[in-house]
Amino acid sequence: MALDEIKIGGLGASRRRVEDNRFIRGKGNYIDDIALPGMLHMEILRSPLAHARIRSIDVSAAWAIPGVRMVLTGDMLAARNLAWMPTLSYDTQAVLATDKVRFQGQEVACVVADDPYIAKDGCEAIVVDYEPLPPIVNPIQATAPGAPLIRDDKTGQDSNVVFDWEVGDREGTDRAFAEADVVSTIEMHYPRSHPSPIEACGSIADFNRATSKLTVYMTTQAPHIIRAAVALVAELPEHMIRIVSPDLGGGFGNKVPVYPGYVVSILASILLECPVKWIEDKSGNLISTGFGRDIYLKGEMALRNDGRILGVRMHTDSDHGAFFSDAQPSKFKIGLMHSAFSCYDIGAAYLTAQGVYTNKAPGGVAYRCSFRVTEAMFFQERMVQAAATDLGMDQAEFRRVNLVRDDDFPHRTPWGLLTDSGQYGKCLDLGLEAIGYEDFLRQKEEARQRGRLLGIGISTMTEPLGAGNSREYDILGIKMFDSAELKVHMTGKALLRTGAKTQGQGHETTWAQIVAHELGIPAEDVLVEEGDTDTAPFGMGTYASRSTPVAGAAVSMVSRKIRAKARKIAAYLLEVSEEDIDWELGRFSVRGAPDRGVTIQECAIAAYSNMPDGMEPGLENNAYYDPPNLTWPFACYIATVEVDPETGVWDVLRVVAVDDCGVRINPMIVEGQIMGGLTEAYAMANMQFITFDEDGNCIGSNYMDYLLPTAWETPGFELHEVVTPCPHHPIGAKGIGECATVGGPAAFVNAVIDAIGDTGVRNIDMPLLPDRVYEALTGGHDVSGAPPVTTE
Amino acid sequence: MYPSRFRYEAPSTVAEAVAMLAAADGEAKILAGGQSLIPMMKLRFAAPAMIVDINGIGGLDYHRSDPDGTYRIGALCRHADLEKSAALADAQPTIAAAAPVVADPLVRTRGTLVGSVCHADPQGDWASVMVSLEGAVVAQGPNGRRTIQVTDLIDGPFQTVLAPDEIAVEAVIPAPRGARAGGYLKLERRVGDFATVGVAVSVEMSGGSVARAGIGLTGVGPATINASEAAAALAGTALDADAVDAAAQLAAEAAQPRSDHRGSADYKRHVVATFVRRIGAQIQRSEHEAA
Ligand SMILES: Cc1cc2nc3c(=O)[nH]c(=O)nc-3n(C[C@H](O)[C@H](O)[C@H](O)COP(=O)(O)OP(=O)(O)OC[C@H]3O[C@@H](n4cnc5c(N)ncnc54)[C@H](O)[C@@H]3O)c2cc1C
């Protein structure tokens, strides 16, 4: 009797998340839950100013406070060559400021004390003498003639420009524009946002002088990369470094970079020879750690009257803050901005991008997306809406005309990426049907007669996930593969470890389901562990929706290696040759005599107690998986809204989501990811942003100003699915962690713009605050949200 | 988020609390719901040497009507007590309208109306409601009690005329001169957000016309705004659309908003007027329904 795959928690089972057992009981093990004997506590003193020269730092009063064990400043670090650290983008970032502070909230000094209260008192006792300099908060200011030079620490850096890049076919694109019937243009700003995991960052560094071993518990999405970085920067031997990433209260890209707090806690532990704990507070997290977005677009589309897109030209200006610490976007082809329009069959495309330094926190990180494709997809879908409007064409029809057709795969995008599968038209049609598109258009018209403003917004996109393939993708030279190690114990229970690191995605549940699918071992018999570099196989960590596409594939591959060995054992036990063995889920049998068989569990015992002569005992293996291509999920999000013409307040009426993420391992978790992503998309469109005033003050460094939506205002989501298996992934999965955050925002914005379409307004920058909508509605013009915000 | 060192006291009577405050020489703070004070302490915006926690004092958690219609709200009556009170909708419609939009459900179970008024946050919702109702607080100090109108109590952002050794023991709303009606509208970006604009309108209807009106504005000035001229424009009228319109205009003029990341000054003024109109229309509708 064949096993029922759903019953054993295999592929397609909406199995409850095993990790939730401890989380909902308050038994998780987060960084702040960890206490080591003799542990001291560290707090950071941050700059109140956005741009200022440091004349002097007086730490004497801090040292005088009973219980203060150490006060660290930039000068102390400089003496050890640690005042600056390298970033992932081959830039440098100040660990503690020596010469200048370059953004509000920058780390200036650290105090280590017996408890965090005393450490905080110590920070307050430090006197810093600042000489204020003019702050820069946007690219226009950064590139204005005579702009103050932010990075005067860098030799050869004589402007605030970080990079100037181009990609695509310039001449071909020019030709497309020459042939166009209509050219559609739009400008917009994707505002600075913050991943804002509920748990902020933190570390406990524990250097043991006796063993020379450094153990660092830290909130990181990529523990192995951190180990390598510590080995290189601190010049410690790699085998004497152990990074443990415990339970993480969210990451969203914020826990990929290395932050000064980690570095200083490590140094303090080495100097003091005892464990040093640093727990960042919420404001510290929001004001100083990896933000997302903050990119300006000038977009142009060359269109033919029949609706075909002939060419696309884009220029982006990105604001990277004071230190360029993105994940090496030049290597990733302009941060994958050039993945824009991958779902459309467009003629030619050309993209230029300029990045600048400003007096803002450094970044930006890919906030819940692959190398910042969120901006690319948002710009794409906003440009598409404007183009359809300019052509006088229906939004849905314009997309249908231009979407890549099912029989066009594999499809080479104009920037050279290869999409391999999808049913774009089907997803769009399903979405339109679910929302009742034609009906809604009628309702909208009727409502308009009565002075009510309804709108509908569509967003369709495919995004590149699962970096990478090792030919094209690496971080600091380390290729972007991933890994899994599987140990099947004698009793058929198993331990699985991967190089990924869950932050709430449910790996402990999902990975076990892949093993169940491949081996027929019930998912509940598989323990999943991640995050400890002393035990987990080397991997690149979890971000960019890469876990299922890469580490998940490695789980499949290692399971198959185990199955191959088990097959040999089965042949031995059944006394037939390997070729005469059939496999069904969980069991080998003799071909032609299906009653004669052994289970995978029986093979496991035999691997330790009764293996064939000459066979290595045990049933363990590992796999390193290098994906042949990126994976390309597709999504169609449709939102309907009503705008209050008197206040500019808008309410979401309905949201329909159609996601094709390939094969779904755990449909419940997939749906959770989509709902979470749509919530963030709604947040971005509606309320969530960080801005700055003329003085460079960060507005959004606490949850009073930086608003995350609650269950109260978050709309309901209606989810639908289409399944086009990924052709190269072992189980056909494509990744789903980020689709909705990436594709979602444009649906909401398009809906509001549609609702006020009669005004001729093309753009309102996110978030679509009521006053911005009201201004657009009454003034009939676009509304920019670019900083600085004016405060009277 | 670690506050500075402080001493903690938990008296069991008001008199004891007053004595502690008096002894602390201005270095003490009263802790009621703690929903404003504790965040300020954790951010080290406030660093009182002593906390006098009044939560252990019995008999302060009431809200009730005197036989003559005077309404009293004790210093430990929580936002949630007001939100959940069925009787309040008729007795105090403006309070009933405001209670569910103050802060979020978690904060409402702890925060107190009296504490909110004493906190004098220009974005606090309760002070505007109290202003619209001509409310007062009763303060008890070493020399006994005095009654202070809320309009006199607040003398700047986060500033009141309370002496450091005075405790506001209750809020008092005078008996109405007719049938009460009113509403509170708040523009917020999500639950728990402070008001971009909040408008409280309270009227007392007698014989088809407005016997008394009050309008308080939240978040559109350096302190809670008493839009008394706007309210005066309603008095004696039948709350007809023209009267409400006039009041709406005057309320917008009374507002002193700043442009900031929540909206421009002009926009906020416009919302003040819109909200006055909407509450006026709401009251009219329910008067019609009642008739
Ligand atoms: C997340 C969050 C969101 C919020 N949103 C809103 C909102 O939208 N609208 C709104 O109006 N408020 C909001 N608040 C504030 C909340 O309503 C507080 O409860 C209220 O402002 C203060 O009441 P409290 O009882 O908590 O006072 P406490 O925090 O205990 O005290 C506040 C101040 O008043 C003084 N005080 C308190 N009681 C007395 C007394 N009896 N006599 C003399 N002085 C006293 C204290 O010493 C202190 O200085 C929010 C708070 C939080 C944490």
Got the DSSP string for B42-111? HTTS---SEEEEGGG-TT---EEE-TTS-EEEETT-BHHHHHH-STHHHH-HHHHHHGGGSS-HHHHTT-
What atom in ligand 1 is closest to the CA of residue B39?
Answer: 53
Pocket probe for ligand 1: among B14, B72, B107, B220, the residue whose CB has the most ligand atoms within 8 Å is B107
User: Reduced to 3 states, what is the DSSP secondary structure of residue A263?
Assistant: helix
Instruction: Residue B277: name the closest of B236, B234, B235 by CA.
Output: B234
Eight-class DSSP state of A324? B
pLDDT, chain A, mean: 96
| DSSP β-ladder status, A213-218 and A202-208 | antiparallel
Q: What is the pLDDT of residues A188-222, one digit of tens each?
A: 999 999 999 999 999 999 999 999 999 999 999 99
Instruction: Residue A229: name the closest of A208, A204, A250, A259 by CA.
Output: A259
The whole model's pTM is what? 0.97
Chain B hits for A702, Cβ within 8 Å:
43
Question: Residue A310, exposed/middle/buried by CB under 10 A (0-12, 13-18, 19+)?
Answer: buried
Average pLDDT over residues A730-750: 96
Question: In the numeric block, which tokens belong to residue A3?
Answer: 């096993």
ipTM: 0.96
What atom in ligand 1 is closest to the CA of residue B30?
Answer: 47
Q: Helices A739-755 and A373-391, interaxial angle, to 10°?
A: 30
Q: What is the pLDDT of residues A31-80, one digit of tens each?
A: 999 999 999 999 999 999 999 999 999 999 999 999 999 999 999 999 99
- Partner-chain residue, chosen from B4, B259, B274, that has the shortest CB–CB distance to A792: B259
Residues spanned by CATH 3.90.1170.50 within chain A? 34-133+200-248+255-288
Whole-angstrom CA distances from A740 to A54, A311, A682, B248 are: 44, 26, 10, 42
Check residue A329 and give its pLDDT. 63
Check residue A361 and give its pLDDT. 97
3-state helix, strand, coil in chain A (%, to 5): 30, 25, 40
Average pLDDT over residues A379-399: 98
Question: In the numeric block, which tokens belong to residue A674?
Answer: 């989509």
Check residue A333 and give its pLDDT. 65
Do B44 and A120 count as a contact with CB atoms less than 8 A apart? yes
- Partner-chain residue, chosen from B193, B259, B260, that has the shortest CB–CB distance to A707: B193
Which positions in chain B have a beta carbon within 8 angstroms of at least one beta carbon in chain A? 1-5, 43-44, 104, 187, 189-194, 196, 258-265, 267-268, 270-271, 274
Q: Which fold has domain A295-400+413-467+629-779?
A: Aldehyde Oxidoreductase; domain 4 (3.30.365)
State percent of chain A over pLDDT 70.
Answer: 99
Q: What is the pLDDT of residues A532-548, one digit of tens each?
A: 999 999 999 998 889 99
In this structure, the residue with its CA closest to atom 41 of ligand 1 is B168
Residues spanned by CATH 3.30.365.10 within chain A? 20-27+482-625, 295-400+413-467+629-779
**What's the CATH number of domain A34-133+200-248+255-288, 3.90.1170.50, 3.40.50.300, 3.30.1360.200, 3.30.9.30?**
3.90.1170.50
Average pLDDT over residues A95-114: 98
State percent of chain A over pLDDT 90.
Answer: 92
Q: What is the pLDDT of residues A298-356, one digit of tens each?
A: 999 999 999 999 999 999 999 999 999 887 666 676 677 889 999 999 999 999 999 99
Q: What is the pLDDT of residues A240-283, one digit of tens each?
A: 999 999 999 999 999 999 999 999 999 999 999 999 999 999 99
Chain B hits for A698, Cβ within 8 Å:
none
Q: Which residues pair with B200 in a beta bridge?
A: B184, B216
Distance from CA of A640 to the nearest CA of B (A): 19
Q: Which residues line ligand 1 (CB under 6 A)?
A: B 29-37, 39, 75, 102-104, 107, 111-112, 114-116, 118-119, 121, 124-126, 162, 167-168, 192, 194
Residue A507 has pLDDT above 90, yes or no: yes
Longest CA pairwise span in chain A (Å): 87
Superfamily for domain range B179-290? CO dehydrogenase flavoprotein, C-terminal domain (3.30.390.50)
Q: Provide the CATH number for the domain formed by B7-54 in this structure.
A: 3.30.43.10
d(CA B18, CA B254): 37
Q: Which residues of chain B, if any, have pLDDT below 50?
A: none
Confidence of residue A737 (pLDDT cuts 50, 70, 90): very high
Count of other CB atoms within 10 angstroms of residue B147: 11
Pocket probe for ligand 1: among B51, B79, B116, the residue whose CB has the most ligand atoms within 8 Å is B116
Do A116 and B187 count as a contact with CB atoms less than 8 A apart? no
Instruction: For chain B, give every domain's residue range.
Output: 7-54, 63-173, 179-290
Q: Provide the CATH number for the domain formed by B63-173 in this structure.
A: 3.30.465.10
Check residue A470 and give its pLDDT. 84
Q: What is the pLDDT of residues B126-181, one digit of tens each?
A: 999 999 999 999 999 999 999 999 999 999 999 999 999 999 999 999 999 999 99
- CA B115 to ligand 1 centroid distance, Å: 5
Q: Provide the CATH number for the domain formed by A20-27+482-625 in this structure.
A: 3.30.365.10
Check residue A366 and give its pLDDT. 86
Do B271 and A647 count as a contact with CB atoms less than 8 A apart? yes
Check residue A336 and give its pLDDT. 75
